[in-house]
Amino acid sequence: MAELTVERTAIDGLLVVRLPVHGDARGWFKENWQRAKSVPLGVPDFGPVQENMSHNVEPGVTRGFHAEPWDKYVSVAAGRVFGAWVDLREGDGFGTLVTTEIDPGLAVFVPRGVANAYQALDPDSTYAYLVNDHWSPEARDRYTFVNLADETIACPWPIPLSEATLSEADENHPRLDAITPLPRHGRTIVVGGDGQLGRALRAVFPEAEFLSRSELDIASAESVAAFDFDHVDTIVNAAAWTAVDAAETPEGRVGCWRTNVEGVGRLVEVARRHRATLVHVSSDYVFDGTREVHSEDEPFSPLGVYGASKAAGDALVATWERHYIVRTSWVIGEGPNFVRTMVDLARRGISPTVVDDQYGRLTFADDLADAIAHLVRTSANFGSYNVTNDGPTQSWFDIAARIFELVGAEGSVSPVSTEEYASGKSLAPRPRHSTLELDKIRSAGLVASPMSPRLTEYVGGLLRPWGITLGHSSQP
């Protein structure tokens, strides 16, 4: 008896699956789709949600070519069927034809964007297909068709089309030269597209849709329910409640939880429903900071409401297998942040006090965006990854003093303990140690940029509009 095997074809992603069929005088039995055996052999874990069957009374019944907006797994329940597939996706493979005969011992995985057609070879032939989205009249509006008799495709039909049974619609589909190639990949959406990270992601995902809160508010069930997620392959969640101190207030606790937990849970369910990859940005605040360096597998130990909400969100994301949790700290990008504040104070000759007993590394938003793009585009193993800039651990005071030095400020920075700084203020607890271990992201092929030169570059960019060169401030 043959073993289950999977064969690649001339069309990228189109797979021929040879199935063991157990037969005797009574008939036969086969495992038509067996996830645990098929996925390790290369068949995508495509998450079928609907099964359809097509019964053909006479040989010669021919249907196609249809490119539907879902993946498809086709097999035969009775008789024999000639199958033909044409790649309608953009790229060098556009127009490529693959054909084979399908009997009960063979199945074919058809990726979205590849048009399929079938011709019955025996009386009472029946084929079945699993799909990973539900059919609806609206879904049919997103089909792409090409003519069965197209001269460029030149499909070698066993039964000539002049002798075959076709529907009127199939007879009148357009020729290949009238088809606009379909995108090879589905949509990428970035939630929280107006934030520091969202703005940095625009450079590495130019094809993505960047969504402001007014376009998609994950804290609102109604907003998520109304959004069109069709054809979404990748969701990058750069949206979060980040007002750490406000999260400790009665009103803030509610708002923080709605976004960082309930909102994230909605994105998880969307990703699960659409088999999409979910990239979620996490925080060093999921830890209490008692360890000097945090690895990806350290148990959660948040100190405050914000940290607890991020930990709960991470736990929800981890329930969906196609996820990247990107944990980071001390993000610096385009928008209000610590470095901008220190540069502004230095320019104005103001001497601040800065805590000297909280330790970590800065993460520049551009480098964080590069890391996210690297994970997605290299199809790195799913899971959690720490991402910050590299270099020695420093305190906030160390970083502030370096900024004042770069600016050439006349003022200076004074160190203060967290306890002294917090006296008389309503502040959320902070982890003392925020340094994240970077071994795992290195093993995924990404070397983090050192923090020190990136800080120098960033400060120089902030000073340039005022005509100030590094180390030579001119206070107003």
Given 178, 198, 215, which residue is the final one in a domain?
Answer: 178
The residue among 119, 152, 178 that closes a domain is: 178
What span, in angstroms and rounded, lies between the C-alpha atoms of 223 and 234?
19
Q: At what angle do helices 396-407 and 338-347 cross, to 10 degrees?
A: 40
194 plus 148 within the same structural domain = no
Q: In the chain, pLDDT over 90 holds for what percent of residues?
A: 90
Question: Quick one: average pLDDT of 399-404?
Answer: 96
Report yes or no on 476 lying in a domain: no
Residue 474 is assigned to a structural domain of this protein:
no
Q: Helices 305-317 and 264-274: crossing angle, nearest 10°?
A: 10
Pair 381, 321 in one domain = yes
The model's confidence at residue 185, banded by pLDDT at 50, 70 and 90, is confident
Name the DSSP class of 248. Answer: G
CATH code of 270's domain: 3.40.50.720
Is residue 297 exposed (0-12), middle (13-18) or buried (19+ Cβ within 10 Å)? exposed
Q: What single-letter amino acid sits at 67?
A: A
Indicate if 433 and 307 belong to the same structural domain.
yes
> Is residue 81 included in any domain, yes or no?
yes
Residue 98: DSSP 8-state: E
Q: pLDDT value at position 468?
A: 80
Catalytic sites, residue numbers: 66, 129
| 156 lies in the same domain as 193 | no
> Which residue, 141, 158, 178, sits at the end of a domain?
178
pLDDT band at 466 (very low <50, low <70, confident <90, very high): confident
Give how many domains the chain has, as a whole number. Answer: 2
Statement to judge: residues 218 and 170 lie in one domain: no
Say how far apart CA 17 and CA 30 lie, in whole Å: 13
CATH number at 162 reads 2.60.120.10
User: DSSP alpha helices (H): ranges in 165-257?
Assistant: 168-171, 196-204, 221-226, 250-257
Give the H/E segment covering residue 363. strand 363-364
Residues 197 and 278 in one domain: yes
The DSSP letter of residue 2 is: P
Where b means 16+ CB within 10 Å and e means fewer, 444-469 reads eebebbebbebbeebbeebbeeeebe
165 and 195 together in one domain: no
Partnered with residue 67 across adjacent β-strands are 144
The pair of three-digit structure tokens given for residue 61, joined into one six-digit string = 């019944």
Domain, as residue range, for 122: 5-178
Q: Is the model's pLDDT at 413 over the cut of 90?
A: yes
Q: Do residues 82 and 156 make contact, with C-beta atoms less than 8 angstroms apart?
A: no
Residue 476 has pLDDT above 50, yes or no: no
Looking at residue 275, its amino acid is: R
Q: Helix and strand tally (H, E) in the chain?
A: 14, 27
Give the model's pLDDT for residue 1.
54
> Do 325 and 396 reside in the same domain of the chain?
yes
- Which tens digit of pLDDT belongs to each residue from 96-137? 999 999 999 999 999 999 999 999 999 999 999 999 888 888
Report DSSP state, residue 449. P
Asked if the structure places residue 167 within a domain, the reply is yes
Does one domain contain both 320 and 293? Answer: yes
**Contact yes or no for 127/103 (Cβ under 8 A):** no
Averaged confidence pLDDT in the chain: 94
365-377 and 196-204 helices cross at what angle (nearest 10)?
50
Per-residue pLDDT tens digits for 11-62: 999 999 999 999 999 999 999 999 999 999 999 988 899 999 999 999 999 9
Q: Is residue 471 part of a domain?
A: no
Joined tokens for residue 189: 């959406």
CB-based burial of residue 399 (10 Å sphere; 0-12 exposed, 13-18 middle, 19+ buried)?
Answer: buried
Average pLDDT, integer, range 398-423: 93
Tell me: the pLDDT tens digits for 132-177?
A: 888 888 778 889 999 999 999 999 999 999 999 999 999 999 999 9
pLDDT tens-digit readout, 272-310: 988 899 999 999 999 999 999 999 999 999 999 999 999
Res. 319 pLDDT band, cuts 50 70 90 = very high
**pLDDT band at residue 472 using 50, 70 and 90 as cut-offs:** low
- Dihedral of CA 304/305/308/313: which sign? negative
Any domain includes 475:
no
Average pLDDT over residues 448-470: 92
Residue in 384, 378, 371 with CA at minimum distance from that of residue 449:
371
What's the average model confidence in pLDDT over 318-336? 96
pLDDT value of position 141: 80
Q: What percent of the chain has pLDDT over 70?
A: 99
Residue corresponding to tokens 């502030």: 400
What local confidence, expressed as pLDDT, does residue 77 receive?
95
Same domain? 152 vs 9: yes
- Residue 473, in any domain of the structure: no
Same domain, 451 and 341: yes
Only one residue has tokens 């959690």, namely 384
Asked if residue 472 is part of any domain, the answer here is no
Cα(176)–Cα(428) distance, rounded to whole angstroms? 62
331 and 257 belong to one structural domain: yes
